[in-house]
A and B are shown apart, each in its own frame.
Chain A
């Protein structure tokens, strides 16, 4: 499967055996990455990579909606929130429920998909820009409810959020504790890394298979020209709804993992800026291109950490004081990135082959 993926990305096609060698190399380097990071930098970096993988899943989910189907969703983080909260509420002392991980993950996915359909069914008849605003509003509504549903019946515990969420437990292994397997010691962050990596790869596979499928082609047709797609016999409404539900599902799963990994959720983590950040990952990486989106997610998820370590010292050296704190610098850069990418490189850093072809020899139709 991995070979197929690599071939798909045109990474290696030099020699008959090259794909296998390449695959083996990639696999080995991914396998030793957490240990290398810990040895080279610190364990914090393994944690950062864990989060980056979560973002990659999230970005791939949004990519289905924005990249494949061309529907701008500005409230995507709401599905992440729904997934995270359904995990948190069903596996924490808050309600005294402690369902096992393998039950919770599908529940999170289903609940998120349900919300996706709930939001999608009335709104998907709308034109793209209306949809953007409605989804934005939906994201805010979810956040407002999470924030306020602590009275009179305490459901979400309000702004304090839910804490002491059960860690991931697989095969009797507690993922927050250091485990010894085959004589190698795996700290919790490393265990999470392998699980998230596995799920990310699974998501990549699903996304690529989806893109090549009948549904994927229908999505792309809708993105390119909805009226023409309809004329070709595509049930645009249902297919769009499917894109929404699929995207939401990935968001829900990532949310559940986030919840378990962090052990704590609060409405604060699900603001509009998070939605924008995931959108940035998709746009910057390359809308509609799975590999590009993963690249975008990994880049943007590690950027804040890089900034934290470089921005302040550099400013200290030049100006003698810190003018821009890393957090606002990050948001400034996001805003700039969205504008510049759209103006200068609309296909993103790593555009999909189809889009690149479109962008290079397209004579843009005049808007009448």
Chain B
């Protein structure tokens, strides 16, 4: 089996999920200039909601076909997350839009902690295994193994990202979003309902987060209340790597980070003579983050340099 190719494939799967989550960060950042710390928790809520719906439906014993159950669960998760994203913006960010920078950042952390603990109360501390509704069949691809689920993850992320690009560049809503991120006051003068657009951004980002949550927990077939934290952090890194505020950048950054992590974790043992092992996988994201911020703070595809501290 070709190990390098295997790592690349794993990296692509992981990267597509990062990219989906990173889009949520980057969209909110593009419009509000705010890091939505709670975004990772939205992903977690999406995954756990979908899981509960699936277990619920299967326990009813209706005999529905597997893909339909997954689709239903996904839709419910998306709806829940959209409502959640909307309320987070309404409660924690909107009242502070004119406050000092530190204020919304601190409420964001508060929301994150709150969601995590509510999730812990609802779903408990234990790791939930994803119900095996669809058993992925492994395929051989040039000596590496890839399951059809993983192919599905890559394809669906690609489709969603394409759809989002179309939405942002070719629809009325998208134009309004771009205008708002350019300059809120002028956009308001041009007849854009800024509040509505910002809410819409949060809702769309949360829907993507729900999809990402379902995909990632289906891939690892595991979900728990703490999963959002690391995932969110890495997706943020991906967004920064690509150039925060830039949609294409978030996608590129996500894929790159997935590759870096997977290849890095695969080879770090050999490179350091066994001194550092694959349990340092989580460190890569941070090292990349710090390196990007130091050497190219605007990211790979970002062009705007912000002046205001």
Contacts and interface: CB of A to CB of B under 8 A. Distances in A.
Interface of A: 66, 70, 72, 74, 122-123, 125-130, 132-134, 136-138, 140-141, 144-145, 148, 151-153, 226-227, 272-273, 276, 279, 283, 287, 324, 328, 331-332, 334-339, 342-343, 346, 364-368
A272 to B, nearest CB: 7
B107 A137 contact: no
Contact of B110 (A134, A140, A338, A364): A338
A136 B109 CA distance: 11
A134 to B, nearest CB: 6
Interface stretch (B57-65, B159-167, B272-280): B272-280
Contact of A335 (B95, B110, B275, B290): B110
Given A130-B240, A134-B290, A144-B280, A339 B111 contact: yes
B183 A332 contact: no
Nearest to B185: A368
B98 interface: yes
Given A122-B290, A132-B35, A367-B98, A144 B107 contact: no
Interface of B: 34-35, 91-92, 95-99, 101-107, 109-118, 120-121, 183-185, 229, 233, 236-237, 240, 274-275, 277, 279-280, 282-283, 285-286, 289-290, 293-294, 297, 306-309
Name, among A66, A126, A132, A339, the residue most crowded by chain B CB atoms within 10 Å (CB to CB). A339
Decide if the interface of chain A is mainly helix, strand, loop or mixed. Answer: helix
Given A276-B113, A342-B110, A366 B98 contact: yes
A127 B102 contact: no
Contact of A123 (B95, B103, B116, B293): B293
A366 B107 CA distance: 20
Nearest to B244: A130
Given A276-B113, A335-B110, A346-B99, A127 B306 contact: yes
B103 A129 contact: no
A272 B229 contact: yes
The 8 closest A-B pairs by CB, nearest first: A338-B110, A335-B114, A335-B113, A137-B286, A226-B309, A339-B110, A122-B294, A364-B98
Contact of B289 (A134, A145, A227): A134
A364 B95 CA distance: 13
A344 B114 CA distance: 17
Given A123-B290, A126-B297, A141-B286, A336 B110 contact: yes
Contact of B274 (A132, A141, A152, A368): A152
A366 B286 CA distance: 34
A227 B103 CA distance: 20
B297 A130 contact: yes
Nearest to A153: B275
Given A134-B293, A137-B233, A140-B286, A324 B121 contact: yes
B306 A137 contact: no
Contacts of B107: 338-339, 342-343
Contacts of B309: 127-128, 226-227
